[in-house]
Amino acid sequence: MLHITGSSESGPLRDDACAYAVAFEEWLATRPAALEAAAHPIASYEQRVAATSALMRVLYDEGWARYGWPEQLGGLGGDIVHRAVMWEALARHGLLSMAVYEHLEVLAPTLAALGNPALMARLLPRFLSGTETWSQGFSEPDAGSDLASARTRAVARDGGWAITGRKIWTSWSRYATWCLVLARTGTTESRHRGLTAFVVDLRHPGVEVRPIVQANGTDELAEVTFDEVPVDAERLVGEIGGGWRVAMHILAHERGTYGWFRHNFLQREVLDNLSLGAPEGDTLLGNALLDLAAIRSSSFAGVRAHAADSVLGPRAAFVKLMLAASEQAVNDWVLASDPDLAVGVQDDHVAVNRQEYLFSRIVTVYGGSQQMQLDTIAKQILRLP
Ligand SMILES: Cc1cc2nc3c(=O)[nH]c(=O)nc-3n(C[C@H](O)[C@H](O)[C@H](O)COP(=O)(O)OP(=O)(O)OC[C@H]3O[C@@H](n4cnc5c(N)ncnc54)[C@H](O)[C@@H]3O)c2cc1C
């Protein structure tokens, strides 16, 4: 299996990240109990979240999960490359997914960059230590691809705001304490210019979280309604009317750098299923490995760009398309290799394979659909009319 340290495709790591990688590898080789408990197939999503949260606690206490985050927010300095090293190593040592902690690489970089510093100094350590998690409330029943038509409304009240509306497909809300909500503070006609981002406490009266069970049996998604939910002024992220900028900052991670984090677990899935005896020279496996190589190098370019304070911009659409292609290619191969997948055998390994296969059918939708990514490439990169 490829790994970052010293691999020619990614180029050498900086000395600080290299030292971190070597020390983390030594620690992982001691097989800490929390890693042992999380690094195997766990069919129950609830138990998977609990095991991953317990691992996050240990990674935080030992300092590993604090690297890559600013010291003023409870981190130990460094940047996204440290996080890239950490999650790659965890996957290599058997962890099968980030579970709800995917938002550490989707939402948290934006919260750290644009959130209220005092609030984030309180909340980010709780996220990093597995104590509290987050969800992302953008999509609405009539506002998915056309996010600028979002209708959830925030009205100024008592020095803060009151939020009323309905969000849907908000991943991991059932497990989350906080939701980053995009709400309308301007007129409907103001479209993207009239949106503002808020940190909303999902435990507050007036919030209702209704989990949605997916075809794969997990309750990862949810519908969330807000009825006059009060939000303090310090819970604003970015400027009033600056919600679009916040959303684009997040989507740049969700479509770009996130590909690095996710692809490590697809590689893990391949390794864990090689024993199923896929025939030598299997074309599906070959396709999956080629797709993984493509996403690996393109997403690490995004990680490096981010570390250098640059952004992929519209090029992140390529990474999102490649990630979806590799997720489907890996799971096409697993389905072809595992005869138990379709017939209902219930051990945890088969159950997780089945969940992953079914999930891979919808990965062309989250973070902006495949058509929207193609639209971005056509208009913003190829400059087509
Ligand atoms: C697994 C998963 C997790 C998700 N997690 C979250 C989350 O945590 N938070 C959140 O806010 N949302 C989340 N979503 C929602 C996701 O962002 C939306 O589903 C997505 O943006 C598409 O919106 P829609 O479902 O309303 O479909 P629509 O926008 O109604 O699109 C329907 C179809 O029409 C196509 N289409 C629409 N407009 C155009 C156009 N202009 N040109 C060409 N084709 C077009 C689309 O590509 C799609 O095929 C998640 C979705 C999934 C599947």
Residue 3 has pLDDT above 50, yes or no: no
Which of 264, 281, 284 has the alpha carbon at shortest distance from 272?
264
Q: Kindly report the backbone phi and psi dihedral angles of residue 109, in degrees, each rounded to the nearest multiple of 5, phi listed first.
A: -60, -35
Mean pLDDT of the chain: 93
Q: Does 111 map to a domain?
A: no
Asked which of 241, 276, 308 is the last residue of a domain, the reply is 241
Q: Are 172 and 178 in contact (CB under 8 A)?
A: no
Q: Does 126 map to a domain?
A: no
- Catalytic: 223? no
Query: What pLDDT shows up at residue 277?
Result: 65
Ligand 1 geometric centre to CA of 89 (Å): 32
Residue 259 has pLDDT above 50, yes or no: yes
Q: Does 59 map to a domain?
A: yes
Residue 198: CATH number of its domain = 2.40.110.10
pTM of the model: 0.95
Q: Are residues 57 and 144 in the same domain?
A: no
Q: Are residues 225 and 248 in the same domain?
A: no
368 lines ligand 1 (CB under 6 A): yes
Ligand 1 geometric centre to CA of 147 (Å): 9
Atom 3, ligand 1: which residue's CA is nearest? 366
Q: Does 49 map to a domain?
A: yes
Residue 134 has pLDDT above 60, yes or no: yes
Pick 10 or 379 by higher pLDDT.
379
Atom 4, ligand 1: which residue's CA is nearest? 366
Q: Are 243 and 190 in contact (CB under 8 A)?
A: no
Handedness of CA 2, 7, 13, 18 (dihedral sign): positive
Ligand 1 geometric centre to CA of 146 (Å): 8
Q: Are residues 211 and 225 in the same domain?
A: yes
44 lines ligand 1 (CB under 6 A): no
Q: Residue 138 CA: which ligand 1 atom is closest?
A: 11
289 lines ligand 1 (CB under 6 A): no
Q: Are residues 169 and 191 in the same domain?
A: yes
Residue 6 has pLDDT above 50, yes or no: no
Q: Does 333 map to a domain?
A: yes
CA distance 141 to 151: 10
Atom 35, ligand 1: which residue's CA is nearest? 371
- What is the count of structural domains for the chain? 3
Q: Are residues 250 and 371 in the same domain?
A: yes
Q: Are 97 and 264 in contact (CB under 8 A)?
A: no
Q: Are residues 371 and 252 in the same domain?
A: yes
Q: Are residues 225 and 266 in the same domain?
A: no
136 lines ligand 1 (CB under 6 A): yes
Which of the four pLDDT bands, split at 50, 70 and 90, describes residue 280? low
212 lines ligand 1 (CB under 6 A): no
Per annotation, catalytic residue among 140, 254, 269, 327? 254
Pull the structure tokens for residue 203: 């435990």
Query: What pLDDT shows up at residue 2?
Result: 36
Instruction: Give the chain's end-to-end CA distance (angstroms, integer).
Output: 43
Q: Are 291 and 329 in contact (CB under 8 A)?
A: yes
Q: Residue 139 CA: which ligand 1 atom is closest?
A: 11
CA distance 112 to 264: 24
294 lines ligand 1 (CB under 6 A): no
Q: Are residues 197 and 142 in the same domain?
A: yes
Residue 131 has pLDDT above 90, yes or no: yes
Q: Does 259 map to a domain?
A: yes
Q: Are residues 308 and 224 in the same domain?
A: no
Pick 2 or 375 by higher pLDDT.
375
Residue 122 corresponds to which amino acid? R
Q: Are residues 376 and 276 in the same domain?
A: yes
* Number of residues in the chain: 385
Q: Does 1 map to a domain?
A: no
Query: What pLDDT shows up at residue 281?
Result: 63
Residue 366 has pLDDT above 70, yes or no: yes
Pull the structure tokens for residue 193: 């210019």
Q: Does 8 map to a domain?
A: no
Asked which of 95, 121, 142 is the last residue of a domain, the reply is 95
Mean pLDDT, range 231-243, rounded to an integer: 97
Residue 345 has pLDDT above 80, yes or no: no
Q: Are residues 71 and 176 in the same domain?
A: no
Residue 58 has pLDDT above 50, yes or no: yes
129 lines ligand 1 (CB under 6 A): no
Mean pLDDT, range 272-286, rounded to an integer: 80
Query: What pLDDT shows up at residue 8?
Result: 36
Which of the four pLDDT bands, split at 50, 70 and 90, describes residue 30? very high
Pairing of β 195-201 and β 207-212: unpaired
145 lines ligand 1 (CB under 6 A): yes
Asked which of 64, 95, 126 is the last residue of a domain, the reply is 95
* Structural domain for 190, as ranges: 134-241
Q: Are 225 and 193 in contact (CB under 8 A)?
A: no
Kindly report each contact of residues 270-276 with a partner whose C-beta sits within 8 Å and lies 24 or more positions away, as own/partner.
270/330, 270/333, 271/1, 272/41, 272/96, 272/349, 273/333, 273/334, 273/337, 273/338, 273/353, 276/334, 276/337, 276/338
Residue 349: CATH number of its domain = 1.20.140.10
Q: Are residues 50 and 148 in the same domain?
A: no
Pick 339 or 226 by higher pLDDT.
226
Ligand 1 geometric centre to CA of 324 (Å): 14
